[in-house]
Amino acid sequence: MYNKTLRPQKKVILCEDGTNTLFSEEFNEPYHSTKDGALHESLEKHVKPALFIKKDETSLTILDICFGLGYNTLATIYYIKKNNLKTKIYFISPEFDEELIQSLKNFNYPSEFESIKPIINAISQDFFYQDKQFTIEILKGDARITVPKIEKKIDIIYQDAFSPTHNPLLWTTEFFSEIIKISQRNTLLTTYSTAASIRLGLYENGFFIYIHYGEKSRYSTVASLKKLNSFTYIDMELKKLRNPSASSLKDNNFS
């Protein structure tokens, strides 16, 4: 599928929230919405909705697809520390760009991550970090190979791959069905994608689909295997009736 050898250089770009992200020549796309901002997007589209829904849990396993600069994992830790939460979190995050992970110790992160710099350094060096509250495990290699091998049951999935147009194999109904195999009864998934094809692929795999309106950011999607009350529900059967030509992405469209 993907080649693990050297990947093209990436350029640092400044987002509108004042935080830095990268632009990938390989995928012809930035790692974050430069308008919403790397840290802001991570907090509003992933961390806050997920931790709000799971606020009563004392321990959680989060699948962060894919690690990249690690904003989603790091922003989760930042948010938990800032709010003095005691939740224990086990992060599992696939990433095939090993050079990128090794370079993270030199990346210019926002000041909010200053106190977690030792965590960034450990991940950058060992692809692993552990203390009493947090464990972070980077799964080296192609997510399509590593995700089906995960043995832990996942509570939260941050789906933050490059866009379906540029990295479709991480958005197909077959990939989502691998995610279902490692999910719990009430697993939820957060993603910036609001595309009908992606929502359909999640719906076909048993997720209820909701719109999430974060603060000062573009709306996003929350998908949950258990019905939720505090989010705007999308009736996917109605969507299908209104848009009969819409379909989910399938592996065989891209291989």
Per-residue x/- track, 98-127, ligand SAM (CB under 6 A)? --x---------------------------
- Closer to ligand SAM by Cβ: residue 124 or 203: 124
Q: Is 241 exposed, middle or buried (0-12, 13-18, 19+ CB in 10 A)?
A: exposed
Give the containing element (helix H, strand E) for 185.
strand 183-191
- Closer to ligand SAM by Cβ: residue 162 or 210: 162
Among 19, 20, 72, 172, binds ligand SAM (CB under 6 A): 72
Instruction: Report the nearest approach of ligand SAM to the CB of residue 97 (Å).
Output: 4
Per-residue x/- track, 127-166, ligand SAM (CB under 6 A)? ---------------xxx---------------xxx----
Which ranges of the chain would DSSP assign to H, the alpha helix? 38-41, 48-53, 71-82, 98-103, 117-126, 143-146, 173-181, 196-204, 236-242
Residue 164 tokens, joined: 């379906």
Q: How many CB atoms lie within 10 A of CB 167?
A: 18
Per-residue x/- track, 14-53, ligand SAM (CB under 6 A)? -----------------x----------------------
Determine the distance from the C-alpha atom of residue 163 to the mean position of all C-alpha atoms in its chain, rounded to a whole number. 12
Q: Which residues are paired to 212 by β-bridges?
A: 220
Instruction: Report the nearest approach of ligand SAM to the CB of residue 144 (Å).
Output: 6
Q: How far is the C-alpha of 46 from the C-alpha of 160, rounded, in Å?
A: 9
Instruction: Report the nearest approach of ligand SAM to the CB of residue 119 (Å).
Output: 14
Q: What is the SS3 assignment for 166?
A: coil
Q: How far is the C-alpha of 93 from the C-alpha of 69, rounded, in Å?
A: 11
Query: What number of chain residues touch ligand SAM (CB under 6 A)?
Result: 21
Per-residue x/- track, 82-101, ligand SAM (CB under 6 A)? ------------xxxx--x-
Binding site for ligand SAM (CB under 6 A): 2, 31, 66, 68-72, 94-97, 100, 142-144, 160-162, 167, 170
